[in-house]
Amino acid sequence: MNNQYQSNETNFLSENLIVNAVLYFVLFVCFPLLTTGQSYRTAAGFRFGNEIGLSISQRIFDKKTIDLYHAPSLFTDRSTTGLVMKQHYSMLTKRLNFFGGGGLYYQMKNGLSTNDDPGYEQHSAGLALVAGIDFTIGKINIGYDMIPLYRLSGNDTGRRLSSSSAISVRYVIVPQKSKLKKWFERWN
C-alpha cells in the first residue's frame, strides 16, 4: 500500500515536471518568435557611416518599415538620399531583430565639374538593397546596416556597383504598444 502511494506521488511529480518544462519552452522560446519584428512605430536620429546623416524610420505594416536617410556631403564630395522598405524578423525578442529589404537612392556630386564634357553626370540614381540588425532598449534604437547600391543612371565613377554601411542611433518618437498591453486595454 505504501509503495503504491509513493509510485503515484512519483508519477504526479514527473508529470508536473513535464508540464512545467513544456510551459517554460512555450513561454521563453516559442512566444518570443511569434512577436512582431520591431518595437517602435516612428524613430528618428543620426546615421554614422562614410558620412554623418539623418535617418527616419516609420512602421507602415506589421513587421515592415519605410526608412528615409540623407547623408549630406560633410566629409566627401557626394550627398546621398535613400528610401528603402525593410522587412523585420525578430531574433530573441521583438527588440532585437534583423531586417532585409530594398528601395531607391539618389546621389549628388557637390562642387564644380572638373570635366568640360556637357554630358558629364553630376547626379546618379539607382537601386539600393539593405540588410542589417537593430536593437531597441527603452527609447533608443541602435542599428547596423549594409546597403549595396546599383547605379541605373549617372555614372561619373565608372562603377555600377558600390556599397555603404552605417550605424544608426535613433530616438523612438512613437513606441509600438505591446500585444499584452493591447489585450488588457481591450478588457477595460
Domain encompassing residue 23? 1-34
What residues are paired with 141 via a beta bridge? 136, 170
Residue at 185 is within a domain: no
| Residue 45 shares a structural domain with residue 30 | no
pLDDT of residue 122: 75
| Residue 77 shares a structural domain with residue 111 | yes
Query: Each residue's pLDDT tens digit in the chain (188 positions)?
Result: 555 555 554 554 455 566 665 555 545 544 444 444 466 789 999 999 888 899 999 999 888 999 999 988 777 777 889 999 999 998 887 788 999 999 999 988 766 555 555 545 578 899 999 999 999 888 899 999 999 989 988 766 677 888 888 999 999 998 766 655 555 666 65
pLDDT of residue 35: 44
The pTM (predicted TM-score) of the whole model is: 0.66
Residue at 183 is within a domain: no
Residue at 186 is within a domain: no
| Residue 77 shares a structural domain with residue 152 | yes
| Residue 89 shares a structural domain with residue 145 | yes
For residue range 158-177, what is the model confidence (pLDDT) as tens digits? 778 888 889 999 999 987 66
| Residue 45 shares a structural domain with residue 27 | no
For residue range 34-58, what is the model confidence (pLDDT) as tens digits? 444 466 789 999 999 888 899 999 9
